[in-house]
Amino acid sequence: MTFDEVLPAVVRALESWDDCPSGLKVAVVRDLRGRIRLAVELDSDDKAVLVALTARVRREVGPWFTEETLCTRTGKVPLRGVAQRILDLAPEWPSAKWRDALGVERSATPGRWRLLERRMGKLPWLEGEVAPPWPAEPGAPTVVAFYSFKGGVGRTTTLASCAIQAARRGERVAVIDLDLEAPGVGSLFGVNADLGVLDVLVEHLATGAVDVGSVRRGAVGLPENLGDLIDVFPAGRLDGRYLEKLSRLDFSGAATGTEAPQIPVREALLAMLQRVRETVAPKWIFLDARAGLHDLAGLSLHGLAHLDVLFSRANAQGLAGLDVVLGALSRRRRDAASRMVLVHAMAPVSVDEAKAERSRMQGETHGMFVRHGLFPASKVPELAAEDGDHRPWTVQRVEAIERNDRLDVIVRDLEGENFKRVWEQVVLLAESGQEDAGS
């Protein structure tokens, strides 16, 4: 039996039991190793029922089942209290399902099942409803996370392009490097600093203090004084002490029942964003989020940002990762679709080839949106609809950008039509979000 098969097997063990007590309530607890323990509430003190129940589950899942079943009515008095506490803490499990002998999927008895997952990491990807540090309202900075499942797709350069275009509008931008394990924002913007975001986070974790002034730098190498409107917060100096500080960050958290997990780094990031808002007073805050299913990326997407710009190439690896990310975001925000911009990254230079590739990608993203319930049930757009949230915005490869990483050399390329369309979509969503918040 595999990890994926364990939970349905537990449900099947009891739902297919002809003598299953009618008043049975079950809390399934899955520990950090993936093993199962049960806490149950029976409508009688019959120990034989509890023994039979335990035997059925152990027979179904074998070594995945651990220790005795806790019961609120049978057994030692202290353990009764533990069983009741688990039943009280465990969230309801309305999606509990099982397959019968014919392989037909069935829903479990309503109200019977609860599930408590114990996790070490990835909590930011798995938790429920989250909210940015402040509402998306006029006068408040709009926080935008730039994220890609795979690296090397032009995420940071597109962020730089959006920052430049915002500065051309006379709008101040704060750029924060959250790709702490592979930082690049500082070097792209020509910034050298002894201290950076990593130092801010480590200091907050130790003392609760937040000092962003010592890590704030102006962008270098931009024409027409555009750098005066772009404040850069690099990750930090990459020296022998960087790894030592990075090892101090703990992305894991603790949750009790349905409460949101308490993650120390999240609290530090929220405090940092608030201080940036107070001291810099930007119109925009751009987060360069770490690639992959890393906890820091999970914290950034929707958890810290009002808008997400999601990058993917139109290949199997990129789209598979995008599918996982969209599924996670759909569970975190009811309005997730209207709060994201999809970017078809690293498209071919040939216009015809880029269009064909984008068309294939749009077909894939349409299926993802349907599968994850990202479209309103009554408003599913046509696959080829150009105004659907599933539409990816194409950014073609630019050889000059791939050859150089100095803004003064590539600034004109970063203001090309492809980049402008992505920026226009970011502005459109930000403005519509502020209108929704004000109405």
- CB-CB contact of 300 with 147 (8 Å): yes
Question: What are the backbone dihedrals phi and psi of residue 75, each rounded to the nearest 5 degrees, phi first?
Answer: 115, -170
Residue 393 main-chain phi, psi, to 5 deg: -95, 120
| Phi, psi torsion values for 386, nearest 5 degrees | -85, -10
What's the predicted TM-score (pTM) here?
Answer: 0.84
User: What band does 189 get if pLDDT is binned at 50, 70 and 90?
Assistant: very high
CA angle, corner 400, sides to 398 and 402, nearest 5?
75
Residues whose CB is less than 8 angstroms from the CB of residue 57 and which lie 6 or more positions away in sequence, other chains included:
10, 13, 14, 36, 38, 65, 69
Tens-place pLDDT, residues 372-384? 999 987 789 999 9
Summarize the confidence of residues 239-258 as an average pLDDT.
75
pLDDT at 439 over 60: no
Closest CA to 225 of 287, 296, 168, 140: 168
What domains appear along the chain, each with residue ranges and CATH number? 3-118 (no CATH), 124-438 (3.40.50.300)
31-85 tens-digit pLDDT: 888 899 999 999 888 899 999 999 999 999 999 998 789 999 887 777 889 999 9
* DSSP 3-state of 246: helix
pLDDT tens digits, residue range 99-108? 999 999 999 9
pLDDT of res. 253: 62
Band of residue 122 on the pLDDT scale cut at 50, 70, 90:
confident
* Long-range contacts, stretch 351-357, CB < 8 angstroms, 24+ apart: 354/394, 354/396, 355/394, 357/314
Q: How far apart are CA 75 and CA 45, in angstroms?
A: 9
Cβ(363)–Cβ(319) under 8 Å? no
Q: What is the pLDDT of residue 46?
A: 86
> What does the mean pLDDT of the chain come to?
91
Cβ atoms of 37 and 116 closer than 8 Å: no
Structure-block tokens of residue 100 = 């019968």
- Judge contact between 290 and 181, C-beta under 8 A: yes
Encode pLDDT of 64-74 as tens digits: 998 789 999 88
User: Does residue 299 register a pLDDT over 90?
Assistant: no
Query: HSE of 10 in the Cβ direction (CA atoms, 13 Å)?
Result: 29
d(CA 200, CA 189): 20
Residue 68 corresponds to which tokens in the numbers above? Answer: 């005795």
CA distances from 260 to 74, 234, 272 (A): 32, 29, 20
User: With contact defined as beta carbons under 8 Å apart, do 294 and 303 qualify?
Assistant: no
- The per-residue pLDDT for 258 is 47
Q: What is the spatial distance between Cα 146 and Cα 166, in angstroms, rounded to a whole number? A: 15
3-state secondary structure of 177: strand
Q: Report the pLDDT value the prediction gives residue 314, as an integer from 0 to 100.
A: 96
The helix/strand/coil state of 308 is strand
Q: How far from 182 is each of 236, 242, 419, CA to CA, in Å?
A: 11, 11, 24
Averaged over 198-218, what is the pLDDT? 92
Q: Which residue type does 10 have?
A: V
Radius of gyration of the chain (CA): 25
pLDDT of residue 153: 94
Nearest to 221 by CA among 178, 180, 174, 160: 160
Residue 249's pLDDT band, with cuts at 50, 70 and 90, is confident
